[in-house]
Amino acid sequence: MRAREMRTWTTDELKSRLDDGYRELFTLRREWALGRLEDSNRLRALRRDIARLHTIIRERELSAALGEGGER
């Protein structure tokens, strides 16, 4: 996924996708531990997507805080 695409989503949708990402990551880690994971690159891509989601959510939190409290 691209960050540009993610930025068009609502905050609730971002948080929902973040929860889904963590569930999928859990499943992939379990499959990897059992030796059944065929595409190990998916783990890395998913971790990066989760990090992007966290970054975008944090950017929105900071911009909201600056908007309410004024610029410093």
Integer Cα distance of 15 and 9 in angstroms: 10
Sign of CA dihedral 18, 61, 59, 9: positive
**Domain locations along the chain:** 3-66
pLDDT of residue 70: 55
pTM of the model: 0.87
CA distance 44 to 21: 12
How far does CA 20 lie from the centroid of its chain?
9
CATH architecture of 3-66: Orthogonal Bundle (1.10)
pLDDT in tens, 36-71: 999 999 999 999 999 999 999 999 999 999 987 655
Residue pLDDT, tens place only, 1-37: 789 999 999 999 999 999 999 999 999 999 999 999 9
